[in-house]
Structure 1
Amino acid sequence: MSNMGDVVIQSFENPEDFFSFISQRLITRDHKLGFRGHACSSWELETTLTRFSKQILSKFPDKKHSLETITSVTKNRLERQFINNLIVNNDLPRDKAESIDIWQFGQHFGLPSPLLDWSHSPYIALFFALSDSIKASGNSEKCIWVINIDLINEINDLISREIWPEFIEKIQPVETLHEQFPLLKIKGDMELHNRRLAFQQGFFTEHGFYMSLEIWLKRIVSVFARPNTDKPVLQKLTFKCNEKDRINILDRLDKMNINNRTLFPDIEGSVKDAIDTTFRSFQENSIKTFSYWANN
Structure 2
Amino acid sequence: MENQTPLSNREPGPWVEVSYLDGIRIVEIPTFEAFFQFLQIGFGGSTDHSLSWRGQRCAEWEITSSLARVSKSEDWAHIFRYREAVARCTNVEFEIQNSDKDSEELKLWALGQHHGLKTPLIDWTKYPYVALFFAFAEPQASTCGRRAVFALNFHETASLNFNITETHGMAPFKQKLSKTPYTDDFRRYILEEIGVPDQIRKMVEESKISDAVKEWLCDNEYQRLKKKQLRFYTPSTKENQRIHSQGGSLVYTPGNVPVETWIRTYNELRPPPWDQIPLLTKVIIPETERKAILKGLNKMNINYLTLFPDLGGAAQYCNMLLTEGRELGLKSI
TM score, norm. by length of structure 2: 0.70
Instruction: Tell me what 1:45 maps to.
Output: 63
What are the residue-to-residue correspondences of 1:148-167 with 2, within 5 Å? Answer: 148-165=153-170, 166=172
- Partners of 1:87 and 1:284 in 2: CA distance: 43
SS of 2:25 mapped into structure 1: strand
Judged with a 3 Å threshold, the aligned counterparts in structure 2 of structure 1 residues 44 and 179 are, in CA distance, closer, same or farther, namely farther
Worse-superposed segment, 113-122 or 156-165: 156-165
What are the residue-to-residue correspondences of 1:109-124 with 2, within 5 Å? Answer: 109-124=115-130
Q: Is the 8 A contact 2:305 2:317 kept in 1?
A: yes
Worse-superposed segment, 164-173 or 142-151: 164-173
Write the deviation string for residues 18-66 of structure 1: whole angstroms up to 9, x where unpaired.
233224446756751111011110010111111110xxxxxxxxxxxxx
1:204 counterpart = 2:250: yes
Shift, 1:13, TM fit: 2.1
- Partners of 1:222 and 1:196 in 2: CA distance: 36
Judged with a 3 Å threshold, the aligned counterparts in structure 2 of structure 1 residues 229 and 6 are, in CA distance, closer, same or farther, namely closer
- Partners of 1:93 and 1:266 in 2: CA distance: 23
- Partners of 2:328 and 2:276 in 1: CA distance: 46
- Partners of 1:185 and 1:117 in 2: CA distance: 12
Q: Which has the higher relative contact order, 1 or 2, with Cα contacts under 8 A spaced 6 or more apart? A: 1
Shift, 1:158, TM fit: 1.5
1:34 counterpart = 2:39: no
Q: Is the 8 A contact 1:210 1:216 kept in 2?
A: no
Instruction: Tell me what 1:183 maps to.
Output: 229
Q: Tell me the percent identity.
A: 24
Judged with a 3 Å threshold, the aligned counterparts in structure 2 of structure 1 residues 167 and 115 are, in CA distance, closer, same or farther, namely farther
Unaligned runs of 5+ residues in structure 1 are 54-66, 286-296
TM score, norm. by length of structure 1: 0.78
SS of 1:93 mapped into structure 2: coil
Unaligned runs of 5+ residues in structure 2 are 1-5, 8-19, 175-185, 196-219
Judged with a 3 Å threshold, the aligned counterparts in structure 2 of structure 1 residues 153 and 281 are, in CA distance, closer, same or farther, namely same
Q: Is the 8 A contact 1:164 1:181 kept in 2?
A: no
Q: Which of these residues, 140, 147, 154, is aligned with residue 142 of structure 1?
A: 147
Q: Is the 8 A contact 1:180 1:209 kept in 2?
A: no
- Specify the code of the residue in structure 1 equivalent to 2:157: I
Instruction: Tell me what 2:136 maps to.
Output: 130
- Partners of 1:225 and 1:77 in 2: CA distance: 40
Write the deviation string for residues 124-169 of structure 1: whole angstroms up to 9, x where unpaired.
0000000011145x88111111111110111111122123324685
Judged with a 3 Å threshold, the aligned counterparts in structure 2 of structure 1 residues 284 and 226 are, in CA distance, closer, same or farther, namely closer
Q: From the CA coordinates, give the structure whose radius of gyration is larger.
A: 2
CA RMSD of aligned residues (A): 3.0
SS of 1:34 mapped into structure 2: strand
Instruction: Tell me what 1:251 maps to.
Output: 295
- Partners of 2:94 and 2:26 in 1: CA distance: 46
